[in-house]
Structure 1
């Protein structure tokens, strides 16, 4: 199957794509390269639909879209490429719903087939940047992005995030005070991206929160978000923005710990940040490969360095021949 339709598409298929691309360029300020990628993927889908006499976007069902995904897989596309196609389709249908050109989003619960390189148990930095750099479209998504930025920024547990109250955030100092397991309190730094997300969320929180509600993160009804709601919203974020594995709160905490360890090598500091009573618990987050560990060992241990202790050597130090 080619990347673009062989025959001209009917206006009912082509014009909504053109309107969506204009929306991405003007309202969302996406780059020309990103717009081209969306357009190419959607034209490929439109060509497939046209070949099967599906002449309107309203007519694309969940079942038909699954057939299209199977076709992409048979054509040799990797799981990540198919995930990109599905992400483009989801975003497109969000636009169609807004414009009242569709009544549902057929791509919402479809996942790409697993590829040879699925999202690892610890997401790498580029993958998380892609997911967290996605722009929210409404106040609830602004809240969601804020939650996920804060979890990854400070390594919070799900219960710690859900239990956060407004007064425990110090925007000026860049800190958050959380209540961990065993009612132990710890003070954690908050990164610049998470602080920016908090500043974006707080005005919306003020308009949503019920009178007297202390929770930092509230639902559309103004009450504290439940654990299950946070899990569901994170999973939804991953689906909408093209993750090829279910996103869950522990993945963000897990990635925080691993990335901190990979950058600093300071197990004790990460133990304190995570609130672990036993350092053995922290060690399960180490995903440093053996070559990295060997390199740190060679550079750090005085009797492991090549040539001994790296002190001054003389001919008398060498073994006799």
Structure 2
């Protein structure tokens, strides 16, 4: 029998030096740091890999497609589809990297697809809920509550992310605009402030005073404000205001997007303001709030007013 020129995949595995999980993860995370990925992204990878290893009960580098299929089936009994997909995305990045750098011979994620999930309605706040929330915050009459009111106005005015708002410094304020530097995609962007937000922000800066830190928003003891603290406080405000919806920075971001769409903003401008890397999420917003768009069409449709 004539011998093939190239060894088969199984033969290559037989003679190759196997890489351990520790070695593979060290190389993967070294690349993450070299690419300057956000600390939150790196932490996300670490958490998902740790959770996957516990469920798989074997090294990640030794997994085959069947192992990952079993992981999905077992995970469906324990966690939500969105959480499973989040884990699969992390594993896909890991295995794609290993395969690209020839650290494994087969990519077990190659034929694994994300699970289909029912499209959920994104909650937003209406006018009365926003007004109730602001009235509730104003009842406290403290430095922290006034700071939180300004934070709320910024969220609703600009649609900035929670991770972005804690990174804002006093020098980033430019009159009616604000420079967002600590962004998800590492591209700085400019957002714009309404008159009421500008006025409240000026008052906040006076009350804040001159401090050693340049961070715009600070804790009651003048330290940098943590994202978790903001989230926790707005959850409490929402309960105090009797709002049944989730009250969070993400809800404020969605609310801003919806109000801008209803007001007639084009998708590209909204994408730029929100700091989306592509149009995918922006289009999702437009599709979700189609009824509002339909009302705008009835109001401003090109054939409206024609006697035909």
* TM-score using structure 1 length: 0.52
Q: Which of residues 137, 156, 174 in structure 1 aligns to 2:176?
A: 174
CA deviation map 1:30-75 (0-9, x unaligned): xxxxxxxxxxxxxxxxxxxxxxxxxxxxxxxxxxxxxxxxxxxxxx
Question: Which secondary structure does the structure 2 equivalent of 1:183 belong to?
Answer: coil
**Mapped pair 1:165 → 2:175:** no
Runs of 4+ in 1 over 6 A off after TM superposition: none
Quote the residue 2:192 is aligned against.
189
- Structure 2 distance, partners of 1:155, 1:291, is 19
Quote the residue 1:269 is aligned against.
269
**Mapped pair 1:121 → 2:127:** no
After TM superposition, the structure 1 stretch with the greater mean CA deviation from structure 2, 158-167 or 277-286, is 277-286
- Structure 2 distance, partners of 1:154, 1:295, is 22
Quote the residue 2:142 is aligned against.
138
Question: Which secondary structure does the structure 1 equivalent of 2:189 belong to?
Answer: strand
Is the Cα–Cα contact under 8 Å of residues 239 and 246 in structure 1 kept in the other structure?
Answer: no
- Structure 1 distance, partners of 2:272, 2:293, is 23
Describe how 1:215-294 pairs up with structure 2 within 5 A: 215-286=215-286, 287-290=288-291, 292-293=293-294
- Structure 2 distance, partners of 1:295, 1:248, is 28
**Mapped pair 1:201 → 2:204:** yes
In structure 2, relative to structure 1, the CA distance for the partners of 1:291 and 1:238 (3 Å cut) is closer
Q: CA deviation at 1:215?
A: 0.4
- Structure 2 distance, partners of 1:193, 1:242, is 25
Q: CA deviation at 1:206?
A: 1.6
Q: CA deviation at 1:239?
A: 2.3
In structure 2, relative to structure 1, the CA distance for the partners of 1:244 and 1:290 (3 Å cut) is closer
* TM-score using structure 2 length: 0.54
Q: CA deviation at 1:306?
A: 8.1
- Structure 2 distance, partners of 1:256, 1:178, is 16
Is the Cα–Cα contact under 8 Å of residues 162 and 225 in structure 1 kept in the other structure?
Answer: yes
Q: CA deviation at 1:245?
A: 2.8
CA-based RMSD of the aligned residues comes to 2.7
Question: Which secondary structure does the structure 2 equivalent of 1:127 belong to?
Answer: helix
Q: CA deviation at 1:244?
A: 2.2
Q: CA deviation at 1:200?
A: 2.4
CA deviation map 1:171-227 (0-9, x unaligned): xx31110022222111111112212221222123226x4xx2110001122111111
Q: CA deviation at 1:228?
A: 0.5
- Structure 1 distance, partners of 2:295, 2:235, is 37
Is the Cα–Cα contact under 8 Å of residues 142 and 200 in structure 1 kept in the other structure?
Answer: no
Q: CA deviation at 1:265?
A: 4.2
- Structure 1 distance, partners of 2:142, 2:299, is 51
Q: Which of residues 152, 156, 159 in structure 2 aligns to 1:152?
A: 156
Q: CA deviation at 1:277?
A: 1.7
The runs of 5 or more residues in structure 1 that have no matched partner are 1-119, 314-321
Q: CA deviation at 1:294?
A: 7.0
- Structure 2 distance, partners of 1:278, 1:138, is 40
- Structure 1 distance, partners of 2:209, 2:292, is 50
- Structure 1 distance, partners of 2:283, 2:249, is 19
CA deviation map 1:100-151 (0-9, x unaligned): xxxxxxxxxxxxxxxxxxxx81111232133224425111101111111111
In structure 2, relative to structure 1, the CA distance for the partners of 1:299 and 1:236 (3 Å cut) is closer
